[in-house]
Chains A and B, each alone.
Chain A
Amino acid sequence: MSNSILEVVNLKTHLDTATGELRAVDGVDIKLRKGECFALVGESGSGKSMTALSLMRLLPEAGRIADGRVLLDGQDLLALPEAAMRAVRGRRVAMIFQEPSTALNPVLTVGRQITEVIERHTALTGEAVRARALALLDAVGIPDAARRCEEYPFQLSGGLKQRVMIACALAAEPEVLIADEPTTALDVTIQAQILDLLAKLQAERQMAILLITHDLGIVARMAQRVAVMYAGEIVEIADRDAFFAAPQHPYSQKLFDALPTPEKRGTELSVIPGQVPPLTGKFEGCRFVERCEVAYLRCRHEVPQLIAIPGDATAHRLVRCHLREQGLAPPPQNVSTEVEEGTLVAVASMPVIVEAENLKVHFPIHKGLFKRTVGYVRAVDGVSLAIHAGRTLALVGESGCGKTTAGKALLRLIAPTGGRVVFAGKDLSTLSRNALRKGRGAMQIIFQDPYASLNPRMRIADILSEGMRSLDVGRDDKDRMYRVAELLEQVGLPLEALARYPHEFSGGQRQRIAIARALAVEPKLIVCDEPTSALDVSVQAQILNLLKSLQERLGIAYLFITHNISIVEYLAHEVAVMYLGRIIERGTTAEVLGDPKHPYTQALLSAVPTVDGKREIIRLGGELPSPAHPPAGCHFHPRCPKAMPECREAYPEAVQLGRTRTVNCILYRASKAASSTPGRRGRCGTG
């Protein structure tokens, strides 16, 4: 293409590590056209962030660019001296980073940080700089720009900080914007705002965006063209629509298969076996060969090239696969959607294993010399829920809504301030400390971060047997070792793992160990606190499959805490949506996700980027208020598109809509009577 603004030719970036030279980026070619959003997709370790840093020449100390050219309007950036490169960074190519909280300098005002960029790269001085900074803050949608300009980063929320970052990046009107996972650290509703903003700015300024992400949903929404990276190479480049209609590389196909969707409910998710090969060695054949189901002999001995597919003139696709020499891949077959409705309904009649009533966790705020309590953070403020044996209840909400605290309070890992938890017929708050300790085995928890959840100083055998020893499960050590071996087999790890330490395992394997640890004491309920949010899609599929099969075999109930709606659709039987410490809507998965009633649920669901088609997005203004000072009346009314004056007066009562469903919104108060009509009950029965 002649109109390409940024062209990367055969870029190779190597990192020096203890185990040898790591080829993080190994021959990447990209052409970025003017005014285009080009997405670079890949799992962690695929080299996508290294590519971005190489373009900006901002590599870490151990890294160096071994080969290749980066042409910006025909000028090779890699040949420029460092001084000239500084004039390019920010001015012609700007970058937004993943973590807005660390990307801004905490001791400078927001205005100062933007004007710094303007002064560095433009001829403007004095008042003109300030005026421009204000205009930029306006442009990125920060309300009350003049006041915000004088504020420090700590006074801003995550979403606002990311907007400021974007304003900084846009300050000198760059031709190319590199966005490295710009919304990964943000909640879905905020993510929707930021993505909208980027799309709007791109259209207005004819900027080229290189979007780096692992989320196919974001790609579907933002990009015009897509490149998939695997093990330091691009394995597929295509136009968005062509890519989403029929991905051509086996790896891309696998990525789509591994995504949990409602259609795959009741079936196993497809997983990619094995791991990304170490990038320190030389490759004889295709890098994906060990994990590929359609690999044949040639794949092992001949390195595939990025080729155009014969008979595919329109989509401008390039694929690195020998198979595609024979033409297009067959379009993906829809997985059979035989959801076992029968089992779903049957499980509803299972007994309730745990029930929380009006559960409250308030954290006191201390102030002053004598640490007087001046107020409370109402992290969990009256949550009631019931989980049936062998079923999964998903607790959904944005960060800061109190869902993790609720989960921990349920297990009494945090002492609740009020309310009752009844587990298997016993009220936990009446139990003595000792009795509670003995009963711990029945309720377990799996954490989000597989790196922090295992003690690095203990061997796997000790980690797995710790709970058993503490709770006197098993007769003696020998008996426990048998059980430990059995557990490893259940979660699919080899026996020799026992003598090893956690750091020798990958994230997915560690999460399996954490699951085995929880299973060791034969729990009836496991609280899963975002167990897959730190994992790649393919590994996430393995863990979800494991959790699902364990539930079927052992009849364990899950409280699944997550913000990922697609997992809920795939795994959960029931859903409870939380907002600012309270459950605002609950019901079966089909009811809540298929036909959300509460305005917040509607907005939340619409904000989730999906791979297939586009939903109408309900835009929410503002951010989650502080749980220390919740808004009067309905907590959601300041952001609610359907708010009425009444909403400000009192917190809405729960309205029962059908047998399994409640919603806390006055919109449905009138239909309370209607909810008992046979018609509605019939509809709920199908869910």
Chain B
Amino acid sequence: MPVILVTDVLVWLLAAAATGYAFYCRRHPHLAVPWARVFRSTAAMASVVVLGVYVALGLLDSLHFRPELEKKDGEQKAYSSEVLSVLDLALSHLRGRSEKTYSAPLATRSFAKEQIELPDGRQLRDFPRLRFGGAHLQDEGEWAGDVAKRMLTGIAVAAALLFLIFLVMKIIRKRRPEIPWSAAYAAIAVLALLAGPAAALSSGYHVLGTDKVGQDIFYLALKSVRTSLVIGTLTTLVLLPVGIALGIAAGYFKGWIDDVIQYLYTTLNSIPGVLLIAAAVLMMQVYIDLHPEMFQTAVQRADLRLLFLCIILGLTSWTGLARLLRGEALKLSQLEYIQAAHAFGVRDTRILARHILPNVSHIVIIAMVMDFSGLVLAEAVLSYVGVGVDPSTNSFGTMINAARMEMAREPVVWWALATAFTFMFALVLAANLFADAVRDGFDPRVRM
């Protein structure tokens, strides 16, 4: 039975809107030209590949359903209370295999000593074998050989795939020679050579170890991607209409409207953001807890909290964009083509829509991609503080939060934190590089 989460709908709408925008851009040279400039940058092409992989993961993870339970005779169809996504299906071998507690990457034994009862009845205090990690090995001495074999298989498959892609690239390159395909190819190669062995190893081991309750870290990291993307994109969706409307209204109408809007964002800016968000999220949490009947599953409940977090973040972070747009609209409203429009008696709404908005769109696009990485990081910080997403939602923030105590352990449990760090770093770096390229492409002042 499909489960439609609110954020799923919004994510897919956003994807549809992005596709629509791409087609719109193709037909409007003033948009197509700067985008073409963006894709001529090597950094942008490489980061687009990385971002593409993240987005694909996020979209797959945004198709939810409840699996059908096995029918007993005569009973009605019943569905599990657990909500899964398409990504979960693909990663089912990772999801189901929980250990008891921590284990290091690729380990065959647990990280903590336990009392083990030997077959002859004696008790022994030792590191127990893992239930799944390396369970197929009869003798742990084969470990090195098995890992090497799996890695090589993974690399071989990746190389074969890369060769195919190389052939396809050759054809595309002829059609659009101006785009740096080699940069994209290099990024694909790096990703494939990482993903191939990881996939091959993950069937027998916990590639990146397990966390406190024995969940596979690799799986958690992949599941966290969606949360980051949702926060990064849906928040801008909330932020944009508010920021754009108030920003250009303040700059265009001036006078008391400008005063009111300026007061609003100055006040909002002076309240510590975390405090405001914490208060709002906690109030929301109380509401959710008092109305359990509204939610069929725990995932839906967590999802509402995620959506609400996006809205709160959006409502507190539009000020930067509004300030930028106010300045630009102030400048534009003095320009002569706006005055010419006044001389034609064109209505204010039409001037805003036809003259101001298209001419600030480059700022909006730049602000959007720039904000994305900031929001991803903000989510991590908020979840770490405990006012972010629901604890049951996978996110980089909750991963870091869970792992932080173990940094003080000896020997240190580093893999959970390192994984969250690496995945988030790759996402934010790619987003920032892409944002830079977008700014270079769109900002008329940067243009040579």
State the A residues within 8 Å of B (CB): 18, 62, 408, 411, 413, 436-438, 440-441, 443-445, 447-449, 452-458, 466-467, 470-471, 501, 514, 517-518, 521
- Whether A452 pairs with B341 at a CB distance below 8 angstroms is no
Q: Which residue, B335, B336, B347, has most C-beta atoms of chain A within 10 A? A: B336
Please name all residues of chain B whose beta carbon is closer than 8 Å to the beta carbon of A443 when the two chains form the complex. 343
- Residues of A close to B30: CB separation below 8 A: 456-457, 501
B345 at the A interface (CB under 8 A):
yes
Q: Which residue in A448, A452, A521 is a CB contact (below 8 Å) of B337?
A: A452
Give chain B residues whose Cβ lies under 8 Å from the Cβ of A444.
Answer: 343
In the complex, residue of chain B having the shortest beta-carbon distance to the beta carbon of A468: B344
Residues in A with CB closer than 8 Å to B344 are 440-441, 466-467, 470-471, 521
The verdict on B90 contacting chain A, using a C-beta distance below 8 Å, is no
Do residues A413 and B343 form an inter-chain contact, with CB atoms below 8 A? yes
Q: B355 on the interface (CB 8 Å rule)?
A: yes
Q: In the complex, which residue of chain A has the Cβ closest to the Cβ of B259?
A: A371
- A449 contacts B29, C-beta separation under 8 Å: no
Question: Which of A440, A453, A457, A501 meets B336, CB within 8 Å?
Answer: A453
Task: Tell me whether B359 and A452 are in contact (CB under 8 A).
Answer: no
User: Which chain B residues numbered 385 to 420 have a C-beta less than 8 Å away from chain A?
Assistant: none
The answer for the CA separation of A452 and B337 in the assembled complex, in Å, is 6
> Across the interface, do B336 and A470 meet the contact criterion of CB distance under 8 Å?
no
Type the 1/0 row for B336-362, where 1 means its CB is closer than 8 Å to any CB of A. Answer: 110111111111001000110011000
Bound-state Cα–Cα, A438 to B336, Å: 20
Chain B residues lying within 8 Å of A18, measured Cβ to Cβ, are 448
- Given A438-B345, A470-B347, A501-B30, verify A458-B354 contact (CB < 8 Å): yes
- 6 further contact pairs, Cβ within 8 A, besides A447-B340, A449-B336: A443-B343, A453-B340, A454-B337, A456-B30, A517-B340, A518-B340
Q: Give A345 to B342 CA distance when docked, in angstroms.
A: 35
CB-CB under 8 A from B359, the residues of chain A are 455-457
A447 contacts B358, C-beta separation under 8 Å: no
Question: Quick one: given A62-B448, A501-B29, A501-B30, are A455 and B347 in contact (CB under 8 Å)?
Answer: no
Say yes or no: A453 contacts B343, CB within 8 Å: no
Q: Which residues of chain B come closer than 8 Å to A449, judged between CB atoms? A: 336
- A-contacting residues of B (Cβ < 8 Å)? 29-30, 335-337, 339-347, 350, 354-355, 358-359, 448
Residues of A within 8 A of B343 (CB): 411, 413, 440, 443-445, 467, 518
CB atoms of A466 and B29 under 8 A apart: no
B46 to chain A, nearest CB (A): 24
Minimum distance in angstroms from B181 CB to a CB of chain A: 21
- Bound complex: CA A443 to CA B344 (Å): 9
When the two chains form their complex, are residues B335 and A452 in contact, meaning their CB atoms are under 8 A apart? yes
- What are 15 A-B residue pairs whose CB atoms fall within 8 Å in the complex? A62-B448, A437-B345, A441-B344, A445-B343, A453-B335, A453-B336, A454-B337, A455-B337, A457-B359, A458-B358, A466-B344, A470-B341, A471-B344, A471-B345, A501-B29
> Is A470 within 8 A of B350, CB to CB?
yes
Residues of chain A lying within 8 A (CB to CB) of residue B354 = 455, 458, 466
How many whole Å from A62's CB to the nearest CB in chain B?
7
Partner of A452, one of B336, B345, B347: B336
Residue of A nearest to B30 (CB): A457
In the bound assembly, the distance between CA atoms of A187 and B354 in angstroms comes to: 37
A411 to B359, CA, bound (A): 26
Per the bound structure, the CA–CA distance linking A15 and B328 in Å amounts to 32
Nearest-CB residue, chain B, relative to A467: B344
Q: In the complex, are the beta carbons of B339 and A408 less than 8 A apart?
A: yes
Closest CB of chain A to B244's CB: distance in Å?
16
Collect the chain A residues with CB atoms within 8 Å of residue B339's CB.
408, 413, 445, 447
What's the least CB distance linking B37 to chain A, in Å? 10
Which chain A residues lie closer than 8 Å to B350 at the CB level? Answer: 470
What residue of chain B has the Cβ atom nearest to residue A445's Cβ? Answer: B343
Q: Which of B29, B337, B347 counts the most A-chain CB atoms under 10 A from its CB?
A: B337
Q: Which of A441, A458, A514, A521 has the most CB of B within 10 A?
A: A458
Given contacts A455-B359, A457-B30, A458-B354, contact A445 B340 (CB under 8 A): yes
Q: Which of A445, A455, A514 contacts B355 (CB 8 A)?
A: A455
A514→B340 CA distance, assembly (Å): 9
Q: Determine the distance from Cα of A458 to Cα of B335 in the docked complex, in whole angstroms.
A: 15
Q: How far is the CA of A365 from the CA of B75 in the complex (A)?
A: 83
Q: How far is the CB of B48 from chain A (nearest CB, A)?
A: 23
Interchain CA distance A413-B345 in the complex, whole Å: 10
Question: What residues of chain B lie closer than 8 Å to A458, measured between beta carbons?
Answer: 354, 358
Q: Return chain B residues, CB-CB under 8 Å to A437.
A: 345, 347
* Structural contact, A457 and B358, CB atoms closer than 8 A: yes
Return chain A residues, CB-CB under 8 Å to B346: 466-467, 470
With both chains docked as a complex, state the minimum distance between the C-beta of B351 and any C-beta of chain A, in angstroms: 10
| In the bound complex, CA of A440 to CA of B29 (Å) | 32
Say yes or no: A413-B342 contact (C-beta < 8 A), given A456-B30, A457-B358.
Answer: yes
B329 to chain A, nearest CB (A): 14
Given contacts A438-B345, A440-B344, A443-B343, contact A453 B448 (CB under 8 A): no
Closest chain-B Cβ to A408's Cβ sits at a distance in Å of 7
Q: How far is the CB of A663 from chain B (nearest CB, A)?
A: 32
| Chain A residues with CB under 8 A of B347 | 437, 470
Could you tell me the distance in whole angstroms from the C-beta of B33 to the nearest C-beta in chain A? 10
Q: Which of B339, B340, B448 counts the most chain A CB atoms within 10 A?
A: B340
**10 closest Cβ contacts across the A-B interface?**
A467-B344, A440-B345, A437-B345, A453-B336, A447-B336, A457-B358, A470-B346, A455-B337, A452-B336, A470-B344
Docked complex Cα distance between A619 and B305 (Å): 77
A666 and B158 alpha carbons, distance in the complex (Å): 95
Min Cβ gap B252→A in Å is 14
Chain A residue nearest to B343 (CB atoms) is: A445
Contact B337 A453 (CB under 8 A): yes
Residues of chain B within 8 A (CB-CB) of A454 are: 337
With a cutoff of 8 Å between Cβ atoms, the chain A residues found around residue B341 in the complex are 466, 470
Give complex CA distance A466, B336 in Å. Answer: 15
Cα–Cα distance between A517 and B425 once the two chains are bound (Å) = 52
Of residues B344, B347, B359, which shows the largest number of chain A Cβ atoms within 10 Å of its Cβ?
B344
Identity of the chain A residue whose Cβ is nearest the Cβ of B358 in the assembled complex: A457
Q: Within the complex, what minimum Cβ distance (angstroms) separates B183 from chain A?
A: 21
Minimum CB–CB distance from A24 to chain B (whole Å) comes to: 16
* Whole-angstrom distance between the Cβ of B90 and the nearest chain A Cβ: 44
Chain B neighbourhood of A440, CB < 8 A:
343-345
Q: With the chains together, A449 CA to B338 CA distance in Å?
A: 13
Question: Which residues of B sit under 8 angstroms from A411, Cβ to Cβ?
Answer: 343
- CB-CB under 8 A from A456, the residues of chain B are 30, 359
Whole-angstrom distance between the Cβ of A630 and the nearest chain B Cβ: 25
CA distance A471 to B359 in the complex (A): 24
* CB of A472 to closest CB in B, whole Å: 10
Query: Once bound together, how far apart are the Cα atoms of A18 and B37, in whole Å?
Result: 12
- A470–B341 Cα distance when bound, in Å, is 9
Closest B residue to A514 using CB positions: B340
A-side contacts of B336, CB under 8 Å: 447-449, 452-453
Q: Which residues of B contact A441 (CB under 8 A)?
A: 344-345
Shortest CB distance A557–B (Å): 15
Alpha-carbon distance A494/B355, docked complex (angstroms): 25
Which chain B residues border A501 with CB–CB below 8 Å? Answer: 29-30
Closest to A439 in B: B345
**Least Cβ distance of B344 to chain A in Å?**
4
Report the separation of the CA atoms of residues A644 and B340 in the bound assembly, to the nearest whole angstrom.
Answer: 45
Chain A: minimal CB distance from B392 (Å): 47
CB-nearest residue of chain B to A527? B343
Residues of B within 8 A of A453 (CB): 335-337, 340
- Chain B residues with Cβ under 8 A from A517's Cβ? 340
A18 CA to B340 CA, complexed, in Å = 33
Residues on B with beta carbons closer than 8 Å to the beta carbon of A448: 336
A441 vs B359: C-alpha distance when bound (angstroms): 25
Chain B residues with CB under 8 Å of A62's CB are: 448
Q: How far is the CA of A372 from the CA of B130 in the complex (A)?
A: 77
Cα separation A411 to B355 with both chains bound (whole Å): 21
The docked-state distance in angstroms from the alpha carbon of A517 to that of B343 is: 11
CB-nearest residue of chain A to B361: A457
* Most interface-central of A411, A445, A447, A455 (chain B CB within 10 A): A455
